[in-house]
Structure 1
């Protein structure tokens, strides 16, 4: 089957059980609140339901400095929207019997066998205590490993991450040097005791490479991107596609923005030494929709199957110990999810109780976002996918994700629930 046949058709909002007027209201909201006001440079929104694209729109500029508009094939830095792809890659190896979720991580990373939990001290003189149990592979996928991110700015442990530049995509190192550096820094907590957004998915990418025997980027290319025809997704933007690469901006705290990464000089224009499974990919809305459709369809698209429906059901279940939500488990000062009524699966946040979120939604929908304010969610019960692309750091600058959820669910006039 050609990859051309995997592309979705466009359908009318009525056929998708949605209000065209309500969908247009979303575009108007984006334009007036975020683009005309100078909060966002540009944006792209795709809403897929019942087998087709019910709404697709582009707005504003991909590159303000050069007045290049956002187009349907604009390439964006998706940052942490890399995580679900890495998690799917890992679960493909689980399905092949090459690794188990309850395997101790030190089985694959022996130098981590003695990792302790932080008690006191500053790098490199840490006082630690033993973990209550060994870190398991599942802890990496659900962010209960005790690892952290340097940008959390919360403890002496994340300060050590900043000193070593652990998890930074621009780091002049490799996944292997990151693993070696992490062996010298204690955990924030004993595995399974809490949830903390972290470099854990970068470690998952390292495990994919080690267990498969293939370079991680090559595994993704051969096992996911090529079969699905995701031709614009990768860890760098090739020269022949550089003209489609968006600029990235940072909120200035005054309702405006400043250029953060120029697309003509960006580090993403050349292959990186650090292949970040946690945040290194660039992609298009079309490519990411292909990935999401594969998940919505139970792990397959056309004659390409990545995972079985049962594996995907496992991934999109809440895996937080005791069935708790993020309000009960999280130590993070920052993540790409709101907390109330939301749990975490194997690579995605998972809505458990829509009433607690105070946002329209469905129990069982799963989602994640990226640092530059990109976002997606998949609602199996409503046969719905939403993908939003823009390039503004940080993702917490504006409540755009909450607004999009409210407005897209408000556009449903024929609900499956």
Structure 2
């Protein structure tokens, strides 16, 4: 089902049309098979790079698309409606470029950013640790200065693109000064001493590798420090604000795909001599699903437009992430219900959508954390 979008320019409309074509012709036909075989779609990201979609919200002078965030997020939604692994992967890549784009020096941006957003490289975001998930300030991975290098030791957990990323935005401890002792380093994926554990065995997004990253005396040049020592936690949290909008857009894409599937099935499935979409029990369910999708889309667009206007948007990003991912879980579950027994089989993608939706409520900050962020913003107002 085509989404009626209000876009800010003809260029944005053309960009969304290109994205929809890629999603329909290249991504959607490959998604189910690759997810079943747990195959990482690196060629899909190369296609996005060749099409200019890997650096949309970053400046044109560095090879980006120079697009407003509201346009980038709608591209993300379109891709996610066809294949969530690709949508989430693009969101993670964009967030991994953010520390350099926002906090790097002019020299650092000129040196590394064009290649990172130009289409050939893929990024990973290395923040979480097994004992420090929501409590990012408690991380233990160390980066100790040793002459012109940092010597990194420790383990990161739940890293999207672990082992396949070309670079990582790494948060590591450079001093023992609590949360203020954390710094951000841009780490080459081929750094000696850096390795990835076997991918986690997940219930969904099986085409996207999620691994531990192990740093064993890994040496990183000191000129890859971003924003100065001690600024890593602030960098990480600011990146997460934008990343949460990305996950919200992914969630809306997934929910839209589930809604479209349920509507099409309800139109074609007959019981008691008429399509089941004509029964009130089904049509009310579908109406609630549609309302949830549209409300979630409005929430992420509100956050994006505030970001584009240079206004504070952290609380709105948490609202969007909370609303959109809860909606995705509900809508995908209801889609399985509309399809009935067929929805519980792998003959239809409804069961995969439902499995994929669950993690959206967990990563980029659990939805319990989002409620804390929202409540604290209310307390300050």
TM range (shorter): under 0.3
Structure having the larger proportion of residues in helix? 2
Give the TM-score normalised by structure 2.
0.28
Question: Greater relative contact order: 1 or 2 (C-alpha under 8 angstroms, separation 6 or more)?
Answer: 1
Give the TM-score normalised by structure 1.
0.26
